[in-house]
Amino acid sequence: MRDGTHGADCVIALDVGGTGMKGALLDRDLKTLRTVRTTTPRRSGPDAVIAGIGAVLRDLDRSAAARGLTVRGAGVVVPGIVDEETRTAVHSANLGWRDLPLAALLEDASGLTVSLGHDVRAGGAAECRLGAAGGVRDACFVPIGTGISAAVLRDGRPVRAHGYAGELGHVVVEPGGEPCSCGARGCLETVASATAIGAAYSARSGRRVEGAAPVAAMLAEGDPDARFVWDRAVESLATALATVTTLLTPEIVVLGGGLAEAGGLLMYPLRASLARRLTFQRRPELVRAALGDMAGCLGAGLIAWDAAEASSARRPLEGARVATS
Residue range 10-33, pLDDT digits in tens: 999 999 988 889 999 999 999 999
Residue 265 pLDDT class (50, 70, 90 cuts): very high
Domain architecture of the chain: domains with CATH: 9-122+293-324 (3.30.420.40), 134-290 (3.30.420.40)
Residue 111 pLDDT greater than 60, yes or no:
yes
182: closest CA among 80, 74, 103, 273? 80
Q: What whole-number distance in Å separates Cα of residue 232 and Cα of residue 234? A: 6
- In the chain, alpha helices (H): 46-66, 102-110, 119-130, 189-192, 194-205, 213-220, 224-248, 257-260, 264-277, 295-324
pLDDT in tens, 216-259: 999 999 999 999 999 999 999 999 999 999 999 999 999 998 89
Of the pLDDT bands very low, low, confident and very high (cuts 50, 70, 90), residue 322 is very low
- Residue-wise pLDDT tens digits, 180-215: 988 999 999 999 999 999 999 999 999 999 999 999
Residues 6+ apart with CB under 8 A from 45: 96
- Specify the pLDDT at position 39: 93
Under the phi-then-psi rule, with left for phi > 0, alpha for psi from -120 to 50, and beta for the rest, what region is 107?
A: alpha
Which contiguous run of DSSP H or E holds residue 28? Answer: none
pLDDT in tens, 78-107: 998 999 999 999 988 778 889 999 999 999
**Mean per-residue pLDDT, 148-174:** 91
User: 318 pLDDT band (50/70/90 cuts)?
Assistant: low
Q: pTM of the entire structure?
A: 0.85
Which residues fall within 8 angstroms of residue 207, CB to CB, at 6 or more apart?
Answer: 201
Q: How far apart are CA 294 and CA 29, in angstroms?
A: 15
